[in-house]
Amino acid sequence: MTAHALDHDLENLATSVRAELVREIDASGVWDADPAWREAFAAVPRHLFVPYYYIGDLGGYERRWVGDPDPRRREEWLRGAYADTPLATRVRDGELFSSSSQPSLMAMMLTELRVEDGMTVLEIGAGTGYNAALLAHRLGDDQVTSIDLDPEITESARQHLAAAGHHPAVVTGDGARGVPARAPYDRIIATCTLNAIPGAWLAQCRPDARILAPFATGLIALRVRDAGHAEGHFLHTPAYFVPLRGGIRPEPPYAGGLPRRARSSELFRFLLTLTADSLDPYEAYTLWEREQQPTRERFGITVSGERSWAWLDAPEGPYTWPLP
């Protein structure tokens, strides 16, 4: 049995659990701004993109896969493929290397990308190909380009996409350099964490393009003015992805000596990660308390020529931090 040849009972189950996932995401209201994404999630079969995945953590992983000889375990694999959770799809030397993101987070990010018919999209981080398939279903194959540094990832993404009936451009290369041969783009979406905004992306965007990318455990949405300028706020939601070049997401600076409420606060960890090159944890804590524990939406990023910086409340305000 292959990932693309399920028996009759599993095919029926796949249809059922995919519908359950769509209803679960639909209940959150995430698609209210663009209901076309609901149809994309209902149409694109996620199980084709995760013929195997791993359950567990750094203490050890258990592999689930479509070809398991045990029918019960094949059913577990299929149900897991449609669970609203991220799935570890590649593990190297005991560390997570690539994954399929949580579907509800993908739905939110795709909606926040604010695409319109006829737009071109560059995806940074091909992953399993599932996100590219959703984009291709919404916009058409010719409008979508996906890039990843790892040739094994891009090859498997192409195979998964073909099995689902989609053929967007999947390129092997450094995502930080973009794909100039297929530029310009109306939208860029990254499925990997950044620690800087690549200038090549801005240069490959049309004016008024939108870039959406994980950054410092959050999601930054930038409006591109021109090849040298972009600016925008963070969205409200947390987001954890592997870094642009693979590996494990860097942890923020150690803050063990700070009060428990800071050490346990997800928002404080966001601030620590965002300002890691500029503030030590104790300075960050002083700021966090003074500003009444600010939420992500109060933070933003500006790119202007050779400079880029993060800020709280205003790009030229009293709280700004240079980025790499």
Q: Report the candidate in 210, 206, 253, 261 with the shortest Cα–Cα distance to residue 235.
A: 210
**Is pLDDT at 249 greater than 80 in this prediction?**
no
User: Which domains, from first to last, does the chain contain?
Assistant: 8-233 (3.40.50.150)
**Is pLDDT at 202 greater than 80 in this prediction?**
yes
**Is pLDDT at 256 greater than 90 in this prediction?**
no
Predicted pLDDT at 5: 62
Q: Is 28 noted as a catalytic residue in this protein?
A: no
Handedness of CA 235, 33, 158, 19 (dihedral sign): positive
From the list 98, 100, 101, 146, the catalytic residue is 101
Predicted pLDDT at 155: 98
**Is pLDDT at 90 greater than 90 in this prediction?**
no
Percent of the chain surpassing pLDDT 90: 82
**Is pLDDT at 55 greater than 60 in this prediction?**
yes
- At 40, the pLDDT band (50, 70, 90 cuts) reads very high
Predicted pLDDT at 2: 44
Q: Report the candidate in 212, 167, 154 with the shortest Cα–Cα distance to residue 186.
A: 212
Helices (H) and strands (E) in the chain, counts: 10, 14
DSSP H helical segments within the chain, as ranges? 8-26, 36-43, 71-81, 103-113, 130-139, 151-163, 199-203, 260-263, 266-274, 281-290
The set of residues, in sequence order, having a beta carbon less than 8 Å from that of 47 and lying 6+ positions away, is: 3, 6, 14, 66, 78, 81, 82
